[in-house]
Amino acid sequence: MHAEAAHAGPVVSIKGVGKTYKSGHTALKNIDLDIRRGEIFALLGPNGAGKTTLIGIICGIVRPTSGTVTADGFDVLTDFRRAREAIGLVPQELSTDAFETVWSSVSFSRGLFGKPRDNAHIEKVLRGLSLWDKKDAKIMTLSGGMKRRVLIAKALAHEPRILFLDEPTAGVDVELRHDMWEMVRALRETGVTVILTTHYIEEAEDMADRIGVINKGELILVEDKATLMRKLGKKQLTLTLQAPLEAIPEALADLPLTLADDRHCLTYTFDTQAEETGIAALLRRLNEQGIDFKDLKSEESSLEDIFVSLVHGARA
């Protein structure tokens, strides 16, 4: 494929990809997905949904049963060299060369991906991941979090244009997790496309430009995060009452109100997409009913709420 054409389309294009293992287990069913150049894409799904299989197919570790995948414009099977040169992979498992030093392991990765030795780049990567002080340490002597950093350094050693992070913050402490997301943001600034899977949905909510939800091998949904939140997100207005209420008055029965068990809180749920939220009318009608409140707060559904409802919806 011509270089310009390769850079015009999606950075990863997945068409009709399916995977059935020899055991008969179908891990993926007819997946179609385009990843845009330079975005952070979060792939969410419960355990066994097919996330790692999909990443494995794109990276060349797993062979698809059907369909085609291109990375940076190159077919991952027929033009595997150019496709794989573009990709860096941080696997879910902490698989490391235990007896090697950090420096030699990261340098090895750069060579393996066809790049000439560049000590300055390796130093930059190690410093960026706070590994420079550990460059001569054997990997077996490092903590789990540090090993995770080494895996990221190895994936970045050959300057990939697409970075896959498969559960990168699993088992990592809060400080390191924040460092990693800072690094991901910095990579995006340099034009690197980042595709991540994570169990920490708040991270996807915080980081991703787009979200894909996969369940039982099927891609249930792909959406801009903001649009997804807007489409499926609900807002709630919670009023803390001056005096407890025995029941919601008949005159307010037409409103989407719920009374908390302690009778002190009234919750009003409304659609974020609707032209009128109805809050002004609600407050007026409460006043007419003589219901006073001492506090109010509004809350938006989290991505986790949306994710859970999507997956449960698919199961139903």
Partner 1 sequence: MNVHAIAAIYRFEMARTFRTLTQSIASPVLSTSLYFIVFGTAIGSRMGQIGGVSYGAFIIPGLIMLSLLNESISNASFGIYLPKWSGTIYELLSAPVSAIEAILGYVGAAATKSVLLGILILVTARFFVPYHIEHPFVMVGFLVLTAATFSLFGFIIGLWADDFQKLQVIPLMVVTPLTFLGGAFYSISMLPPLWQKIALFNPVVYLISGFRWSFYGVSDVSVGISLVATFGFLLACVAVVWWIFRTGWKLRS
Which member of 154, 161, 210, 225 binds partner 1 (CB under 8 A)? 154
Question: Considering only CA atoms, which of 297, 313, 250, 300 is closest in space to residue 270?
Answer: 300
Interacting residues with partner 1 between 57 and 116 (CB under 8 A):
59-63, 80-85, 87, 89, 91, 93, 95-100, 104, 107-116
DSSP string, 278-302: -HHHHHHHHHHTT--EEEEEEEE--
- In the complex, minimum distance from the CB of residue 125 to partner 1, in angstroms, rounded to a whole number: 15
How many angstroms separate the CA atoms of 130 and 128, rounded? Answer: 6
Question: Considering only CA atoms, which of 107, 104, 97, 185 is closest in space to residue 147?
Answer: 97
The radius of gyration computed from the CA coordinates of the chain, to the nearest angstrom, equals 24
Interacting residues with partner 1 between 11 and 40 (CB under 8 A):
21
Q: Are 168 and 180 in contact (CB under 8 A)?
A: yes
User: Which one, 24 or 116, has the nearer CB to partner 1?
Assistant: 116
Which listed range, 55-63, 226-234, 246-254, 276-284, lies at the site for partner 1 (CB under 8 A)?
Answer: 55-63
- In the complex, minimum distance from the CB of residue 245 to partner 1, in angstroms, rounded to a whole number: 59
- In the complex, minimum distance from the CB of residue 62 to partner 1, in angstroms, rounded to a whole number: 5
- In the complex, minimum distance from the CB of residue 33 to partner 1, in angstroms, rounded to a whole number: 19
H or E element that contains 214: strand 210-215
Burial class (CB in 10 A: 0-12, 13-18, 19+), 22: exposed
How many angstroms separate the CA atoms of 65 and 16, rounded? Answer: 10
- In the complex, minimum distance from the CB of residue 4 to partner 1, in angstroms, rounded to a whole number: 21
H or E element that contains 124: helix 119-128
Interacting residues with partner 1 between 264 and 283 (CB under 8 A):
none
User: Which one, 37 or 82, has the nearer CB to partner 1?
Assistant: 82
**Residue 214: other Cβ atoms inside 10 A:** 25
- In the complex, minimum distance from the CB of residue 90 to partner 1, in angstroms, rounded to a whole number: 10
Count the residues of the shown chain that bind partner 1, applying the rule CB under 8 A.
Answer: 35
Query: Is there binding between residue 140 and partner 1 (CB under 8 A)?
Result: no
User: Which one, 57 or 211, has the nearer CB to partner 1?
Assistant: 57
| Interface residue list for partner 1 (CB under 8 A) | 21, 56, 59-63, 80-85, 87, 89, 91, 93, 95-100, 104, 107-116, 154
